[in-house]
Structures are given as C-alpha cells and as structure tokens.
Amino acid sequence: MGTYTYSPETTAKIDKLCNDTAVRVMLDFPDQSIDQLDSFLKLSAHFIKNSFAVLGAREYIFALDFSDTKSSTTMNEVIVSDETRAGNNLFTININLEIIEIGKIDNISNISMANHSHKNQCVVILVHNGIDISIYSKGIPIEQRNLNHPSAQPVLNKKFNRPADDYKVSLIDFYREKVRTNLTSHWFDQNKRILRGGKTEDIFQNALVQWFVDNLSAKKINFKVKKISTDETDIEIIKHGGETFLLELKWLGKNEKSSYPLSKLTDAFDQVENYLESDLEILEATLVVYDGRDISEYNKLSYIEEESGNWKEIKECEAKKLSTRGTAFVFHLISQTASKRKIA
C-alpha cells in the first residue's frame, strides 16, 4: 500500500480544524457540543468587539460555567463598566452569556488565569487592551488574538509591565532603567554633580509619567493635579475601581541655579501627611526623592529597606515620621561609572 499525500487544500482544512479554538476546548470537555462551544466563542467575541467603544482598554475576565445554571441577567457593557469601576473584574457566565456570579481576581497574569481555569475546570477568556483576548482551558493557554485584526501577532509580554498596585516596584524599575544610567538627562555637569536647572523636578516627573503610562496596567495616570488646596499633586495613579495612589516628587542637591538641602525632604513629609489627613480616600501617598547630594550624605539616611548605594525606602527623617499610609523612596543619582564609584 503506497503512501498517500494530501493536497494543499486538504492539509489546510485539517490544520484549521486542529487549531480551531472550539475543537481544542471540546477536547478538554468532550461532553460539550461543538456547535454550542463555537456559538459561545462567537457570542463572546461579538460582545467584546461591540463593547470596545464603551469599555475602552479595561481588563476583564469571562469564566465559562458548564453547568446548567440559568440567569435572568445577560452580559452587557453597562454591567462590566459599573463592576470594573467598583473593583470587580471576573464574570462567571453560562454558555449563553448569562451572568451567574461576579467577583474579582487581584493578580491579572498568565499564571493566575491558567490557575483559575485549572482550579475551576473551566474556560477563561481574559480581555486586555479592550480588544485583545487570551483563552485558557483547564489551565492551558490555547489562543491569543486581537479581535479586530485576527492575523496580527499576539501581544508581547512587556518586560516591565506591572499592575497599578505595584507602582513602587515600577518606581525601582524606572530608576534602574532610566535614572541610574542618566537616560533622563538630568545632569548639567555630571563631574561636578550639578543637575539641570529650570524646573529640575519636571525632568524626573515627565519621564516617570511616561514610564507609568507605558508599563502600569489597569490604571489612569494624572499629573500636576490640584488635589488639595492650590498645591499641585505631582502624580496621581487611579486604578480601575477608583483606588488612588499619590506621588510627590522632590530632588536634593545642586542644580544650575539653586541648592536643596535635606530640609527639603523633611518639609515634604509634612506635605504628604497633609494630603493623607485631608483626603481619607487616598489609599497611599509616596514621596519620591532624587538625591543629587554626595553619597556620604545619602548614606546617613536611616531606612526600612535599601539597595545599597542605589535607593532606600524610608519612614522617618530628622525626627519626622510618615504615617501608615505614607512612605518615601530616596534614589541616589549616580555620576560615576561603576569602576570609579566608591560607596562611602
């Protein structure tokens, strides 16, 4: 018996069938009808595409419940909008897109989505950027695509992408990638440790805002907001759901026109505490200080955590303390190469 060779057309059809999402889901759930699974996937895609204009780049999750549970509430964009504003992002639905339960998954990541679909033995659809989807079945990712452009390559995992709650980790990423290497171009005379003049704070603020916009997910970024009185809050991070983090930026050392001593930092402690006392809805306030002083001065700061010679997280300075909802990061501005740098 000779070897049979399939035609290109037949090979293409077999390949399409083997990679069809409904077929791949049916392999995990053989008791389910392929027609019903195909209908569910099409209904879901139709809803996501049609809701994009209203929901924008919100992240939310569908978890398909294969039980016969019925519901009188059919999924719609108003529900998703209201619930995500309230902090919920998980919608457990039946095969007809009726809502069975609404909940929350704190950590939206490939691992948490896979774990949820494995633990609950279900199909999970993660909607990110409003129009990109990732589908997981019983713990295994089976598809990624953009619903408007199905032939586009899957969204790349960004190296420094983090949820809004992890903004403090993102601050350290920003320092390592941009500030420590002077990609922010903050030095006027690097050898003499003189910072660029004018509004030195704006140099760091503008670059940090762009970093957050590019690398924090599930958030809105505002800056130079008159949050309380006439003072401008430097950066405001608002999570989907409304939780708010405030960042106040300062610098120490010398620039072309002036000099800012340690008292600038302690004064900023009062500013942060005023924010927290005046607005109880602020989840956290963080003072971000870029320290251009000599490293011997920087090293005198007491800390609760540090990366030696680079950054310190502090809660007190010269007898002033920050409350539970406040903290401060001091980032040392490096002017020497690693070979010449001496940690005093």
∠ Cα 149 20 93 (to 5°): 80
Domains and CATH numbers, the chain: 8-146 (3.40.1700), 162-332 (no CATH)
Buried b (16+ CB within 10 A) or exposed e, 101-123: ebeebeebeeeebbbbbeeeebb
Q: Which amino acid, one-letter code, is at 300?
A: K
- In this prediction, residue 319 carries a pLDDT of 87
Closest Cα to residue 336, out of 203, 192, 195?
Answer: 192
In whole angstroms, what is the distance from residue 248 CA to residue 264 CA? 12
Mean pLDDT of 100-111: 88
Number of neighbours of residue 17 by Cβ within 10 angstroms: 9
Distances (CA, A) of 92 to 61, 132, 310: 8, 19, 45
In whole angstroms, what is the distance from residue 134 CA to residue 300 CA? 49
Closest Cα to residue 89, out of 97, 74, 101, 98?
Answer: 101
∠ Cα 203 205 211 (to 5°): 105
Q: Given a cut of 90, is residue 8 above it in pLDDT?
A: no
In whole angstroms, what is the distance from residue 33 CA to residue 51 CA? 27
- In this prediction, residue 225 carries a pLDDT of 62
Give the long-range contacts of residues 169-178, CB within 8 A, separation 24 or more: 170/211, 170/212, 170/215, 170/216, 171/208, 171/286, 171/288, 171/329, 172/307, 172/311, 172/329, 173/211, 173/215, 174/207, 174/208, 174/211, 175/310, 175/311, 175/331, 176/310, 178/207, 178/211
Mean pLDDT of 202-220: 85
The residue with greater pLDDT, 10 or 238, is: 238
Mean pLDDT of 9-38: 72
pTM for this prediction: 0.61
In this structure, are residues 126 and 280 in contact, taking their beta carbons and an 8 Å threshold? no
- Which residues, other chains included, contact 297 with Cβ-Cβ below 8 Å and sequence gap of 6+? 262, 291
Q: Given a cut of 50, is residue 14 above it in pLDDT?
A: no
Residues in the chain: 344
Percent share of the chain, pLDDT over 70: 86
In whole angstroms, what is the distance from residue 145 CA to residue 151 CA? 8
Give the three-class secondary structure for 7.
coil
Phi-psi region of 327 (alpha: psi -120 to 50; beta: other; left: phi over 0): beta
**Tens-digit pLDDT profile for residues 235-269:** 989 886 678 899 999 999 999 999 999 999 999 99
In whole angstroms, what is the distance from residue 12 CA to residue 26 CA? 20
Give the three-class secondary structure for 166.
helix
Kindly report which listed range (100-114, 225-239, 256-270) carries the lowest average pLDDT score. 225-239
